[in-house]
Structure 1
Amino acid sequence: MRLNLTASLAAIVLAGAMPAAAQDVYAPYEPNPAPPVAAAYDYGDTDFVFELGIGVAAQPDYLGSDNYMASIYGFGSVEYLNIPGLGAFGGRDGRGFSIGPSFNYVGERDSNDLAGIDGVDATYELGLRAGYEWDNAEVYGALRYGLGGAEGLTGDIGANLIARPTDRLRLKAGPVATFADADYNDAYFSVSPREFVNSGGRFAAYDAGGGFNSVGIHGEARYEIFTDYFVNLDASWNRLVGDAGDSPIVKVAGDDDQYYIGLGVSKRFSLDLF
């Protein structure tokens, strides 16, 4: 496997706030382990509680690639927000409805990676993630818009079982599926007639549509090493399906199986806004 080093736009944006995927970069809202019940919603004068972090990850060079790269990513989440007149959202017990930002980064595909196939610039995805969590399970969904190499809508839906062996450790695992529209998939999975000719017929002409791109399993481990400081481990396996899995780019020179692993550190911040 070839190993490259890149930095996601999300990391650059968050670096202004602190040293800062997915997935990936993938960084939706993530509730924290529950404190003692008496303190679950006691935020005092605090109106906004959020988290910022930085991590390193190993992920495919580009969607469908069988080569992997190392990337630096930044991530963030919203734990609690109190807006006068509207009410409070979220809470440290981690149950109920949540909403927050979602980021993802997909590395560039160089024109030399696939002879005769055009290169694709790196894609930066920005959007929102919403979910609902019970004591031992959650469901969630994220919708993002890609900018750069692939422009269009993409996102994911999933569910997790949740275990909290201790007050500081939280474990999650469950199925996940990704999707994208035709505009997004066209950049990574389509082959134009010109590219068919330029590749010497190696890659058949192909027009990728939208729909589900992959199904797989995602897992997380999160540990609070000190108060408000966390270590986060994420890993996933996804199998390309639909128009993405049927693409000649994947069948001839890629891999249906896509893996991801990331390790990051983060810190929780509290602000009195009103």
Structure 2
Amino acid sequence: MTHRLLAGLLATTVLAAAPALAADYETVDTSEVAIVNNADLIIELGAGISTQPAYEGADDYDISGYPIVSLQYLNIPGLFAIGSPEEKQGGLRIGPSFRFIDKRNANDYPELNGTLALDRSYQLGLRAGYEFPVYDTLNIELYGEARYAFNEGEGFVGGAGIDFISRPTEQWEFKLGPRTTFADSNYNSTYFSVRPLESIASGGRLAAYDAGGGFKSVGAAASARYEFRPDWFLNANAAYERMVGDAADSPIVKVGSEDQFFAGFGISKRFSIDLF
């Protein structure tokens, strides 16, 4: 399948590029640099390309760009501090969580003929995780994230999972683990319900259906990360999700696919900023 081939090519690219870059790598303790510079903000910014389902429950796939944003440390003197100026491999981490859902139009997807068009949806929220060591090169992180969707598909969405983390060297980081996603009834109704008029407009091919909230998918995710220069990173990720619950029973998914695949490749840089 096209999306599986693309996911494999993306992962192969990052793994093939890394050894060549490693020869020029010079080790730098970035945490000491941050402390010396009295950094109040340590943030990682970047961008990449990804392939994902064209819509929730689709069997077609799109390629698009995506941002990389990761907050390591934020200090507001006298008020609060989030994270640590040292890049600890463990403990509590809190950062932003966001997702973008593109518009859906039956003119682009014949299997959805009769359904109303949906506008773009934006999701913003927080992610929190706690990482603890198991062996010398193996940690486990428990995490959860919650976001609010607005513009189209308003409602609360989120996810939770476990990551098994391996850092065989200072430059490499690998993650692998199960995860699940969930959404409230408002969100699921937007993307998985079929109104009676939509059912009639589809010629009865899509049965009328009212989706409720709950677990939306279960699956697994993997990622690889390589620091090829001090504060510069290559990032690759892939994930598989299986639709469950009311989402899986939706006629929208039945004419699409319960199996959802994701893959991405990007580059990012860590910035240490003295705000005060």
What range describes the TM-score normalised by the shorter chain of this pair? 0.7 to 0.9
How big is each residue's C-alpha offset from its partner over 1:7-37, in whole Å with a ceiling of 9 and x where there is no partner?
A: xxxxxxxxxxxxxxxxxxxxxxxxxxxx869
- 2:273 is aligned with what amino acid? L
CA distance in structure 1 between the aligned counterparts of 2:201 and 2:167, rounded to whole angstroms? 54
Instruction: Verify the 8 A CA contact 1:41 1:93 in the aligned structure 2.
Output: no
Instruction: State the 1:40 CA deviation.
Output: 10
CA distance in structure 2 between the aligned counterparts of 1:137 and 1:36, rounded to whole angstroms? 24
- 1:266 is aligned with what amino acid? S
Is the aligned partner of 1:177 residue 2:177?
Answer: no
Post-superposition, which runs of at least 4 consecutive aligned residues in structure 1 deviate over 6 A?
35-38
Instruction: State the 1:43 CA deviation.
Output: 5.5
1:68 — aligned with what? 61
From the superposition, tell whether residues 87 and 128 of structure 1 become closer, same or farther in structure 2 (CA, over 3 Å).
closer
1:105 — aligned with what? 100
Identity between Structure 1 and Structure 2 (%)? 50
Q: Return 5+ residue gaps in structure 2 as ranges.
A: 4-27, 134-138
2:46 — aligned with what? 53
CA distance in structure 2 between the aligned counterparts of 1:149 and 1:75, rounded to whole angstroms? 23
| SS of residue paired to 2:191 | helix
Alignment of 1:187-206 (within 5 A): 187-206=190-209
2:88 — aligned with what? 93
1:28 — aligned with what? none
| SS of residue paired to 1:144 | strand
- 2:71 is aligned with what amino acid? V
CA distance in structure 1 between the aligned counterparts of 2:71 and 2:29, rounded to whole angstroms? 20
Q: Return 5+ residue gaps in structure 1 as ranges.
A: 4-34
How big is each residue's C-alpha offset from its partner over 1:48-94, in whole Å with a ceiling of 9 and x where there is no partner?
A: 10011101000000000000000111120111122323454323013
CA distance in structure 2 between the aligned counterparts of 1:266 and 1:75, rounded to whole angstroms? 7
- 1:50 is aligned with what amino acid? I
- 1:111 is aligned with what amino acid? A
Instruction: Verify the 8 A CA contact 2:188 2:211 in the aligned structure 1.
Output: yes
How big is each residue's C-alpha offset from its partner over 1:100-156, in whole Å with a ceiling of 9 and x where there is no partner?
A: 111111222112221111121222111111111113110111111112331111111
Q: Which residue among 161, 178, 181 is the counterpart of 2:164?
A: 161
1:129 — aligned with what? 127
CA distance in structure 1 between the aligned counterparts of 2:211 and 2:248, rounded to whole angstroms? 10
Is the aligned partner of 1:213 residue 2:181?
Answer: no
From the superposition, tell whether residues 38 and 214 of structure 1 become closer, same or farther in structure 2 (CA, over 3 Å).
closer
- 2:39 is aligned with what amino acid? T
Instruction: Verify the 8 A CA contact 2:235 2:266 in the aligned structure 1.
Output: yes
* TM-score between the two structures when normalised by the length of structure 2: 0.83
Instruction: Verify the 8 A CA contact 2:158 2:183 in the aligned structure 1.
Output: yes
Instruction: State which drifts further: 218-227 or 81-90.
Output: 81-90
Instruction: Verify the 8 A CA contact 1:54 1:73 in the aligned structure 2.
Output: yes
Bigger CA radius of gyration: 2
Instruction: State the 1:45 CA deviation.
Output: 1.1
CA distance in structure 2 between the aligned counterparts of 1:57 and 1:148, rounded to whole angstroms? 23
| SS of residue paired to 2:97 | strand
Q: Which residue among 116, 119, 124 is the counterpart of 2:117?
A: 119
How big is each residue's C-alpha offset from its partner over 1:134-184, in whole Å with a ceiling of 9 and x where there is no partner?
A: 131101111111123311111111110000011010000101100001111
1:83 — aligned with what? 76
> Number of aligned pairs?
243
CA distance in structure 1 between the aligned counterparts of 2:2 and 2:118, rounded to whole angstroms? 18
